[in-house]
Structure 1
Amino acid sequence: MTPPDQAAAASRAVAAPLPAAAAAGSRAVPRAMLWMLASGLLFTGLNALLRSLAQQLDPFVVQFLRYAAGALVFLPFILRAGPAAYRPKGLAGQLWRGAVHTAGLLLWFVAVPHVAMAEMTALGFTTPLFIMLGATLFLGERMVPARWAAALVGFLGVLVVVSPGLTGTGGSYGVVMLASSPLFAASFLITKALTRRDSPQVIVVWQALTITLFSAPLALYAWTWPTPLQWALLLLTGVLGSAGHFCLTRAFALADLSATQPVKFLELLWSAAMGFAVWGDVPGKTTLLGGAIIFAATSWIARRETRRR
């Protein structure tokens, strides 16, 4: 082979992986959106269980046992792989994430037994907006106008659905729940930073361990023993919560936080579907209209992100 031929072959060898890498990059955001979608389905079931349990037991006890159950779910995997496989590369970040998320949960669990579902849904959907703002300010993500447009249109769809029943009956508890949103957003921003050095399963395990630790004092102060059925439901919350946070962390590891947040608004559709399937709640016209707005915004940003990349 002549030197020019060798140079051409070398050039082809270097260039060959690029299309594959570009293709992988173009699939990253849609894959992240699918992980986000899965987490929304899991969290919908989780929140329904937690709200019910928080009306039967002390909210701090429910918070403590939910994350203790989450840690218990991972115990077989930890024993199989060995504790070294779940050792974080930086313990301080895991502790900070656990502390911030625990603070948000304390506010959320205080408010959730007293706030109507419609009001809780509306207040909870402020978190993606805080996340997108924080990702721009602290993580250096580009402020892509299309992502903000999709998020704001999705939030508009949420307001269309909940506005007929948004009477503010939660009173001061509504303010308490709203205060949890920026704390959850800060927790997710820390999670995004942690995905640069730790795997999703390590992050989720340490989330469960740290929140269990930080929640223990208040839970022990207000302790009441759950019934056998409540123990079973609490174990189920551990399964749903750990699986949901794993999916969420996978989404954060694959793409910018701001790219995944519009998918969050689809949780309203899952909640409406669960209400119909379990309690026979028939969606009204505003639910259908708001759902159509949410679906259109999410579909549009997903297609745009794929084409852009």
Structure 2
Amino acid sequence: MSSQENPGSDPADAKAPEPAKGLRGLATTIKRLPANTIGALWILQAAFLFTVMTALIKLVGDGLTVFQILAIRQAIMVAIVAPKIVPNLPGSLATRRPGLQAARIVFASTAMLCGFTAIIHMPLADATALGFSKTFFVTVFAILFLGEQVGRHRWGATIVGFIGVLVMLRPDGEGLIDPYALMAIVGAAAAGMVMIILRILTRTDAPVTILTYQATFVGLIMAIPAYLTWQTPTFDQWVLLGLIGVVSWAAQMSNIQAFRAGEATAIASLDYTRLLYATLFGAFLFGHWPSVETLVGAVIIIAASLYTVRREAIHGKALTRHAEGRGYNS
């Protein structure tokens, strides 16, 4: 019987795909894309989520201490990854490099504490751009601690990058520098050390061991100052804190998926879309438009960072884009 003979049937309904089939078809289409395209989609998502995380931290940071924010964030992330961690206990705590694990926890805590404090007190675009200076600290630390040989090209890029940082720091008429900008730089340096330590730890320790130490002990370190400075969150603040934990986990997972799928040199430049997101969020949520100095310094930092990544690719290195090493200070 034709649709004209059956008034109860609708040709449009007959052609409409079921939602489940539509989603499966989309997933199948994505899987057929080139690996670097999939990686690019993941890193764009990660960059957006990292920026959402920083905006949420800035919003809730008006009424709560950074220690509370970090302690609750880590607790939520531990709860999310617990199904992966708990079945491996106590074996997942077995490490051949306990000293390095402890150092990584200290540097990761420092990176997050300084970086998130800068985010709360600075315009988002400024804090985000200064966080990108991590790349240049990685180069310096790789020479000092890994014995890497760095040629004049990477040295040049590192020096140019730090010039971009100086442009952004812009001392006032009395030669004073914004202390929160300095905290952003300290956070970037600490995050650079985390990446160097990760490079060494991955030679001896399993990923689940590294994840267990990171997820558990950073939260424990923050728990004591969080308790001493505790201010009972309002309902809205609890919602924001919950979102920070979930979005942080989703951002890090998206980032890891990005670098598993695509080549670092092919997708690294898309990470800097965070500056665009941060500029828009800062303008529309907080009324902060970036200054000329911020834009000029950010362009210098990003250009030098991308050149450094390119030189790493030429020499077969992958330090500045370790999949597990982002998100500590921004």
Q: Deviations over 1:213-262 (max 9, x none)?
A: 11111000011222233223222222232344456667899999999987
- 1:104-115 map, 5 Å: 104-115=111-122
Residue 197 of structure 1: how far off its partner (Å): 3.4
Do 1:196 and 1:253's aligned partners in 2 also have CA atoms closer than 8 Å?
Answer: no
Do 2:43 and 2:267's aligned partners in 1 also have CA atoms closer than 8 Å?
Answer: yes
* Number of aligned residue pairs: 280
Say if 2:98 is the partner of 1:83.
Answer: no
- 1:1-309 map, 5 Å: 39-78=46-85, 82-84=87-89, 87-90=92-95, 92=98, 93-147=100-154, 171-200=178-207, 202-246=209-253, 265-275=272-282
Cα RMSD of the aligned pairs, angstroms, is 4.8
Do 1:64 and 1:215's aligned partners in 2 also have CA atoms closer than 8 Å?
Answer: yes
Do 1:192 and 1:249's aligned partners in 2 also have CA atoms closer than 8 Å?
Answer: no
Do 1:89 and 1:197's aligned partners in 2 also have CA atoms closer than 8 Å?
Answer: no
Secondary structure of the equivalent of 2:121? coil
Aligned sequence identity (%): 31
Do 2:134 and 2:188's aligned partners in 1 also have CA atoms closer than 8 Å?
Answer: yes
Do 2:124 and 2:282's aligned partners in 1 also have CA atoms closer than 8 Å?
Answer: no
Do 2:92 and 2:212's aligned partners in 1 also have CA atoms closer than 8 Å?
Answer: no
Q: Deviations over 1:260-301 (max 9, x none)?
A: 987765432332344467679888988888787777667777
**Counterpart residue type for residue 190 of structure 2:** L
Q: Deviations over 1:4-49 (max 9, x none)?
A: xxxxxxxxxxxxxxxxxxxxxxx99999998766644332222121
Residue 164 of structure 1: how far off its partner (Å): 9.3
**Counterpart residue type for residue 138 of structure 2:** I
Do 1:130 and 1:181's aligned partners in 2 also have CA atoms closer than 8 Å?
Answer: yes
Q: Which runs of 5+ in 1 are unaligned?
A: 1-26
Once residues 150 and 67 of structure 2 are traced to their aligned partners in structure 1, the CA distance between those partners, rounded to angstroms, is 38
TM-score (norm 2): 0.62
Do 1:127 and 1:181's aligned partners in 2 also have CA atoms closer than 8 Å?
Answer: yes
Tell me the equivalent position of 1:7.
Answer: none
Do 2:171 and 2:177's aligned partners in 1 also have CA atoms closer than 8 Å?
Answer: no
Alpha-carbon spacing, 1:246–1:189, altered in 2? closer, same or farther (3 Å)? farther
Instruction: Return 222-231 or 287-296, whichever deviates more.
Output: 287-296
Residue 152 of structure 1: how far off its partner (Å): 5.9
TM-score (norm 1): 0.66
Residue 169 of structure 1: how far off its partner (Å): 9.2
**Counterpart residue type for residue 67 of structure 1:** Q
**Counterpart residue type for residue 121 of structure 2:** H
Do 2:114 and 2:187's aligned partners in 1 also have CA atoms closer than 8 Å?
Answer: yes
Do 2:171 and 2:178's aligned partners in 1 also have CA atoms closer than 8 Å?
Answer: no
Q: Which has the higher helix share?
A: 1
